[in-house]
Chains A and B, each alone.
Chain A
Amino acid sequence: MSTVKSHRKVVTKLSLWAVGMFGFALFVMPPLYDLFCEITGIGIRPAERYEAAPVAVDYSREVSVTFAATNNEQMPWAFRPMDSKVVVHPGERYEVKFYAKNLTENDMVGQAIPSLVPFSAGDYFHKTECFCFNNQPLAAGEEVEMALVFVVDPELPSSIKSLVMSYTLFDVTPVAADTVAQLQ
């Protein structure tokens, strides 16, 4: 039965191809897309600490920076920026604070994920200190003021006059169980 055998060969190859394409969509395309965005400088970048270098402050220019805070739908904390908007000079170092309170009766750990628009400003907004670099444990009912220290690069393209820095807070308690244990 040579035909049966050759059917098996064709079917095996095609099935493997189909499974391969499924894997490609699920495991290759998302990282590939992230890589592409990183190379071309679009999309979201990971939170990186910036080592401040002394630069001349450009007092002739003003850039407004708006702050926004959002909760992931599973995150019950109170979370908001304490200054919703600041006007800054490029090159100058600023500090703003965000407020968070654990409203639940459980000890929890939160993690803030930053996002900056416009995307093209991503290379020019430097964070020297940010609560988003680490996760934030809060005991039941505890509240905290969290700092963000940043510098807007004087190289920021002159077409950009305002930035929006937004943070979304996630509940990472299950994956940060040892941090919760330290709260006890």
Chain B
Amino acid sequence: MSTTPSLAKPAAPADAPPPGRRPPRHRVRTRVRHVALPLGSLLLFLVLWQALAASHTWSETLVPPPAKVWDAFVDVSTTHDGVRGYNGTTLIEHLGISLRRIAFGAGLGIAAGVVFGLLMGTVGWLRSLFEPWITFLRTLPPLAYFSLLIIWLGIDEEPKVTLLAVAAFPPVAVSTTTAVAAVPKSLVEAARALGASRWDTVRDVVVPSALPETLTGIRLAVGVAYSSLVAAELVNGLPGIGGMVKDAANYNNTPVVLVGIIAIGVSGLVIDGLLLRLERVAVPWRGRT
């Protein structure tokens, strides 16, 4: 990791900083690495993209230059010539509507996953009963059951939210089950020796000891829900960022498709970063049980 002292310069200066803080020079270098490298690679990517587009190897419909995509970005973000964003909705609104679907859907799936995980991790026969079904569900691509959800639930919000919930459920259920089943027996015994009831033990030992794994499962679940977003918005997805991508694709509007893809990817990065930070704050004891 970046905390490894460099060989060229002595790692510990005479006036050692307080524990937990890295030496300032080191921190600067770490920041450079964390910021400059990704930015550099992004720049390189843009240059290569521009070169590829300028070479006209493929038509502009297939590979639009970055500038065109930028124009499309500005177009769908603002009102211009009396047209508001894309199909009457700005990019940020499309994204917001999709994020709300993800929040509802993944939220439901995560809640169900935690409950199932707790039950399956504690009661052996429940695990034997449900595990094959969850594994079955997990291996299915969301598109496979989307058609079924349309038949059952129509084309409004219900199938979309359900799809995201079904996609988010298995990772959380699986990780929570494993973590609960692996709760250190020694700590359960210690709690019992202090006079804990069965419920006390679940609340004060099982749940916190499973929390790090569950949070990892939640990150995975949000990732899965995110990658199912376009699928969820395939039918009647407008407004919605996935619906926008689908709709623009129908008109060979590659710049808007690219704007949509980039918006999904960037917001996904941001959310994953937030979840990672939440994990660090919420479970500082990770790896110390």
| Binding partners A and B | no
A: residues with CB less than 8 A from B are none
B: residues with CB less than 8 A from A are none
